[in-house]
Structure formats: structure tokens, C-alpha cells
Amino acid sequence: MSGHDPFQRVTAIVDVGAVERNCARLRSGLAPGTELCAVVKGDGYGHGMGECGDAALRGGATRLAVATATEAFELRERLGAEVPVFITGALTGAELDVALQARAELTVWRPDFFAAVAERASMFGFRPRLHVKHDSGMGRLGDREAGGVVRLADAAAADERVELAGIWTHFATADEEDETFLRAQLDAFRALAEPLAERHPGVLLHAANSAATLRGPEFHFAMVRCGIALYGLDPFGRDPAAHGFEAALSLHTYVADVKRIGAGESVGYGRSWRAPVDTWVGVLPVGYGDGFRRGLSNRCEVLVGGARRPLVGTISMDNLTVDLGPGGGVEVGAPAVLIGEQDGERVSAEELAVALGTINYEIPCGLSARVPRAYRT
Ligand SMILES: *Cc1c(COP(=O)(O)O)cnc(C)c1O
């Protein structure tokens, strides 16, 4: 995929064809009839919610999930009435109205919120589809008590103002090697949900994120909810290619200045790096204001002139510096790649995440609104 757009300081290129293929790859591991719900919250993990949602649907997803009411509203405006949109998060009263206007499927667990949904639903003239959430061990949203989940599910099924659409949970450790806790969550959910599914035919059971989906069919139930893998990032934080995924996002900029820095001289705030020998330094007009995190200062590499170059000095809000080496040989205007490939070399989101002590999810999510996204197929 080609590099820097000469009209832009920085561009995140999102290959929506890769999103589509990653979906198809995920689907190939699902039994026929198991639904793929594509998770496009957080602006599609920073990749662009609408474009990635479209690509996921082309790749065989049958439903989209988001975290908030405004995300659901935006999707509904883009997609029209047909595609099911599921909100996984908690909603305030005002957000509930936005969610209902968007005809979104909703998460419920607290009886008072359920009552509010049922009451508001009559004002909107349709029966909202509800997914009752069991907290089987994550300790976030959802009812920890199996009895509460069962009561609420039965109440939703019996209430003609709403429709019981699903029973679901979320795993805390699906990406970890040790499966003990994961299996305890799975067993707890299964014990509660399977009898409910028998009692209420057509209700969807769902539990798996990308990591659990890749672990195998026992986690799949009727639907899986995949996010990170759609974007071609490895849910286990290692190598997406090992699972047949292609990273969809690459981050491109250019060399805005090249200068000679003598041995012992410094670049950047705080003089955190000094040239060990006379060298050439390239200045790239990207910084933490773009979401290229300051914590990467002196800790990662950048692709310039087809080679990996160490990022040196402290990353500023709008600029960063790379050591081009004593030989130099890089012209002002040369394309640079912060995430992605150049001439067969690659810097991955996983690699940057390790350097930052975080997870790959945070790398594209953290790219700020100042970075234009461009879409390629
Ligand atoms: C974000 C999210 C997912 C997707 O998780 P990935 O690890 O990105 O696949 C699934 N379910 C819920 C409830 C989520 O919040």
C-alpha cells in the first residue's frame, strides 16, 4: 500500500478490504448459523466506525455492537433501519431515549433500568430487544446473581412492551494462557443461560470476544462479539499473522526537516537524548497531539528510507525526531511510516504497545481526531 499523501502532514490509512477479510477469516472458524457481531465502538477502535462497520457487514457480520447511545445513533443514520445494532454499555435516562430512537438493542440488568426501558418503549411505538447481562466474573456491568438474571429474563419475556433478545456475559481473561478463570466463567454462564435458552426459544446466548472466539467453539454459543481481530490486531498481543489476520491501519507521515547533530548535542525537550556520534536527525511533524504517545520517546523505531530508525529525544505535541545515522541519505520530504510497512520492514501496533507497557487496543484507539483517516480497499 502506498505511502504518504503529499497534501497531508499525517494520515492513517485504513484498509477496509482487510477488515472485510478479517471478518471472513473469523467466520470461517464459526459453525454455520453462529452469528458474528462486529464490535465497532470507540470509532471502530480508532479506525472509523462507519467505514469499518460497512466492511464488517460485507465480510459476513450480521450485527454491529457499540458501547454508547450516540455511537448507535450515528450508525443507524448511516445504515438505515435493517442492520441490528447492539449497545453493550450502561445508559442514562437521556441516553436511553437516544438509543430507543436509534432502534438499538439494549443491555439490561438492573430492574429499575428495565422498568424505565419498558415504560419509555410505549412512547416510541416498538418493542425494544433486550439482552440481559450476567456478570460471571468480570466484575463490571451485569448482575452477579444468577437468580437476578433469570428473574429479569423471565420478566422481559413476559412483558409485551419489550422483547427478550439475548442473555450474555463477558470474559475477563480470555487472552491469558491460564484458562482456569475463563472456564469458571464459562461454566457459571452456561449453567444459568442454557435453561433460559430452552425456556425462551430464539433467545441468543453470547459471551466470546475475539480471544475467546479464537479459542474454540465451546465459547461461541449463538453469536460471538469480535472487535480487535476485525482490525487485524492480535487479541493475544503477539502476531496477528499467526491467526491469518491483516492489520488494517497504517500511519504515514514525512520527513519535514533533516539536520546535522554533532556528537554530544541533543534534540527535543529536556535533552533526553544526546547524539553519541555526529549524525543526521530527521524531524517528523507528528506528536502526542496526534496520539503518538510521549511514552514512546526513545523507545521505538520508525520506518524512513526503507529502514528502521530509532526514535530519539522526547516526543513533543506536534513533532518527533529520528536518528537517520551518520550516513544520512534521507531527503526532506521522504515518506515515513510510524505504524505499518515500508519496503518490507514493518512496525506493528503490538510492538508499540509492548514499548509503552500497554495493549495493542490502545494504539489505534489513541490516535486523535487530528489524524485524518483515509480509506482504501
Ligand atoms: C469491546 C468488547 C468486545 C470486543 O472485544 P475484543 O477483545 O476487541 O474482541 C466484546 N464484548 C464486549 C462487551 C466489549 O465491550
156-179 pLDDT, tens digit each? 999 999 999 999 999 999 999 999
Over residues 252-261, mean pLDDT = 98
Cα–Cα distances in angstroms (integers) from residue 78 to residues 75, 90, 103, 192, in the given order: 5, 23, 13, 37
Over residues 210-237, mean pLDDT = 98
Domain end (from 231, 263, 297): 231
Between the CA of 327 and the centroid of ligand 1 the distance, in Å, is 46
- 181 with 209, same domain: the answer is yes
- 211 with 356, same domain: the answer is no
pLDDT, tens only, 21-49: 999 999 999 999 999 999 999 999 999 99
Ligand 1 lined by 64 (C-beta under 6 Å): no
- 38 with 168, same domain: the answer is yes
| Ligand 1 mutation target, pool 23, 25, 36, 88, most atoms within 8 A of CB | 88
Over residues 241-246, mean pLDDT = 96
Measure the CA–CA gap between 209 and 50, rounded to whole angstroms: 20
Is 120 inside any structural domain? yes
- 321 with 174, same domain: the answer is no
Report the CATH number that the domain containing residue 148 is assigned in CATH: 3.20.20.10
Residue 364 belongs to what domain range? Answer: 249-376
Q: 231 catalytic, yes or no?
A: no
Total residues found in the chain within this entry: 377
Q: 259 catalytic, yes or no?
A: no
- 224 with 260, same domain: the answer is no
Is 82 inside any structural domain? yes
- 42 with 137, same domain: the answer is yes
- 225 with 253, same domain: the answer is no
Is 41 inside any structural domain? yes
Closest CA to 229 of 59, 51, 54: 59
Between the CA of 12 and the centroid of ligand 1 the distance, in Å, is 23
* pTM summary value: 0.97
pLDDT, tens only, 180-194: 999 999 999 999 999
When pLDDT is cut at 50, 70 and 90, the band that residue 1 belongs to is: very low
C-beta neighbour count of 80 within 10 angstroms: 7
How many structural domains comprise the chain? 2
- 108 bridge partner residues: 132
C-beta neighbour count of 318 within 10 angstroms: 13
Check residue 227 and give left, alpha or beta (phi > 0: left; psi -120 to 50: alpha).
Answer: alpha
Measure the CA–CA gap between 338 and 334, rounded to whole angstroms: 13
